[in-house]
Structures are given as C-alpha cells and as structure tokens.
Amino acid sequence: MHGDHGWRIRLADAALAAVVGAVGMLAAAIGESASPLDHALIAVGSLALAAHRSAPRGVLAVTTVCLLAYVWHAGPAATAALPVVAAVHTAGRTGHRAVAAAAGAVFLGGYLAAGGASGDAARETALLAGWFLCAVVTGVADKNWQAYLRQTEQRALEAERTREEAALRRAGEERLRIARELHDSLTHSISIVKLQAGVAVHLARKRGEEVPPALLAIQEAGGEAMRELRATLDVLRTDEPTGTPAVLVERARAGGLAVDLTVAGHERPLAATVDRAAYRIVQEALTNAARHAGPAKVTVQLDYGEGDLTIRVEDDGTADPSRPPAEGIGLTGMRERVTALGGTLHAAPRAEGGFSVRARLPLEAA
C-alpha cells in the first residue's frame, strides 16, 4: 500500500512537470521566435521538476540555468519564469530558503539584463520579483505546516499511549481488588472444608474405623485447591515475571520433567513487555507439558532475530493431531499476549506426535 502511494506521488510530480513544460513551450511557440534549442531548454528545465522531492537543490540549479539560458537566447518572457518559480517554492518548502532566494535573485538579474534598460523589462522584473517572493514565503509556510502536522500526530500518539498506560494501571488495580475478594471469600471457605475433612479423618482413625475414600479425596482436593488458589492470587497480584526462561527450565527439571534449552542468535536484553510475554509463554507451555504430555521430552528454543524473538516449546508426548485439544484458559491467555504485541502464535499437536507451541514476538513492540 505504501509503495502504491509513492508511485502515485511520483506520477503526480511528473504530470505537473509536463504541464509546466507544455505551458512554457506553447508560449514560446506563439511568439514564433523560439528555436529548437529554446524548446529543448524549456523542456529540460521544466521536466527536471519531476525530481523536486528527491533533489530540490539540484532541480533548482538545473531549472534556473536552463530557463536563464532561454531568456538570454530568445529574449525575456514572463512565462519562462514559471518553472523557476516552482523550483524556488519546492526548495523553500524543504528548508533551503537561502538557496531558493539566491536562485530567484540570479534569475531576476539575468532577466533584467536580457531586457536591456527598457521600462517594460524593469516592470516585468518587478512583477516577477513578487512571484518569487511569494514562492519563497509559501514554501516556508508549507514546511512549517507539515512540521505542525507531524507534531500534532506525535501528540495524538502520545495521548493514545498515555490512555493505554492508564488502562493498564486500572487493570492492575482491578486485579488487586479481585485478589482481595477471592482471598476473603474462597480461601476461608476452602480452609473450613479442608479443616472439617481433616478432623473427620482424625476422629475416624482414632476410633479405629476405616476412613471413607470420599473423605480422603475431599481432604486432598481441599489442599490442592488451596495451592491452586494461592498461585492464581499471585498472578492476579502481579503480572511481572519472577525469573527467566532458563530458571523455568531448571524448575521443570527439578520437578522431574526432561527439558532441554537452546538459545540461538544474539541474546540481548528485551523490552519489559516482550520479556514478560516470553516468560509467560514458556511458563504456560512447560506447565501444559508437565500436566498433559505424560512421560515426554521437552525442548525449549529461543531464537533472537534482528527484529523478532521466536519461541519454540515442543514435546514428544501423547498429543494426537487427529484429536486436537480444546484451547483452555492458559492457551487463550498466551494467544492474547502474543496478539497484543503484534506477534503470531501456533499451538497444536505435531504431525509426528506430541505438542508444539511456536510464538513470534516483534522486538519493536515495546
């Protein structure tokens, strides 16, 4: 899309240069005194305007020289100043005010000298001086206007960033509120259930009775629920990583999971948002592998590219491509993190068996 826009701009510049040249050549043809050399000078000086965006000073020099040579060869003509006025305007718009004013003064001096000391030449030169002054002033005004538009766009982007930061701050406050609410309600209730189950088990054993399996299951489930709830509350209280992917791999190994970590590319510090997302992706992938892959070998690979970080976590476990698992809360949260940073995520069973998580995070997402 950007290339199409640039192509249209270049086409418009070429069309404008052609129109200016056509006007000058038509005026020269009406005068019936122009030679092929004069037409060539008008054509070269006018068509050079097509390159005014890439080389404004070069275009100004070529146009001024060609049209001044035309004036000296064919005599003064007000229409000959049109390409030079356009070149002076574009040079002033790109910040070359002194060069633009100097080129205008040179052309006016040559125009006056070519007309001799006649009053008509002096009046025409004075009129053209007004044109050139307007060209310089409008060029500078256009440059200032473009700078103002860029500053306005920057301020709008800054305001949007500030709104996003405020939204993140409110989200953090809401997480803390939810954590407090869960702690006050659920942990108390689960603790009572676990305590009552423990008392019942203790009394049954004290009386020498057989402990019902359901009661033992309740006691174990209560303890597991408390651990899961504490982990959930920790996540709600803070969204910051508590280590690095290497630490996660060491923890997984200590927990009995066979994990290998490889790092490719030039490892370097990451922006906070990218670093946090990478940590959570590896954490969730290793958690899923420990829970669902069975006795499997897991590989974690971090590939630092020029503009992105690629994360691969793959296992050779029991996942079957013909029966893809439903995407749970963990994978959904992982996908949301990657999407928020403008990256891509692929999480699915591998064709050769096992599960694969591949995420690409742009490093400029910060």
Q: What is the pLDDT of residues 311-340, one digit of tens each?
A: 999 998 877 777 776 666 677 778 888 888
Q: How confident is the model at residue 365 (pLDDT cuts 50, 70, 90)?
A: very low
Contact in structure between 52 and 62 (CB atoms under 8 Å): no
- Per-residue pLDDT band at 241 (split at 50, 70, 90): low
Read off the pLDDT band of 345 (50, 70, 90): very high
Span 157-178, pLDDT tens digits: 777 777 877 777 777 677 667 7
Q: What is the rounded CA–CA span in Å between residue 175 and residue 164?
A: 16
| pLDDT band at 357; cut points 50, 70, 90 | very high
Mean pLDDT of the region 279-298: 83
Name, of 13-27, 235-249, 280-294, the range with top average pLDDT: 280-294
What is the model's pLDDT at position 366? 43
166 contact partners, CB below 8 Å, separation of at least 6 = none
pLDDT digits (tens, 9 = 90+) for 111-153: 777 776 566 667 777 777 777 788 778 877 877 888 888 888 8
Q: In this structure, what DSSP letter does residue 347 have?
A: E
350 vs 166: which has the higher pLDDT: 350
Please choose, from the candidates 70, 74, 79, 87, the residue with its C-alpha nearest in 3D space to the C-alpha of residue 132. Answer: 87
What is the pLDDT averaged over residues 180-189? Answer: 64
Is the overall model pTM greater than 0.75, yes or no?
A: no
What is the distance between the terminal CA atoms of the chain, rounded to a whole angstrom? 25
Kindly indicate the confidence band of residue 344, based on its pLDDT and cuts at 50, 70 and 90.
Answer: very high
Pick the CATH number of 245-362 from 3.20.20.10, 3.90.870.40, 3.50.40.10, 3.30.565.10: 3.30.565.10
What order of strands is seen across the sheet that includes strand 258-265? 258-265, 297-304, 308-315, 355-362, 344-349
Q: Kindly list the domain boundaries of the chain, sorted by start residue.
A: 2-156, 245-362
Q: How many CB atoms lie within 10 A of CB 115?
A: 19
What confidence tier does 194 reach under pLDDT thresholds 50, 70, 90? confident
Residues ≥6 apart with Cβ < 8 Å to 365: 271, 273, 274, 341, 342, 343
Query: Per-residue confidence at 310, pLDDT binned at 50, 70, 90?
Result: very high
127 in the Ramachandran plot: left (φ > 0), alpha (ψ -120 to 50) or beta? Answer: alpha
Please report how many Cα atoms fall inside a 13 Å half-sphere around the Cα of residue 301, on the Cβ side. 14
What percentage of residues in the chain have a pLDDT greater than 90? Answer: 8
Most confident of 15-29, 122-136, 239-253, 346-360: 346-360
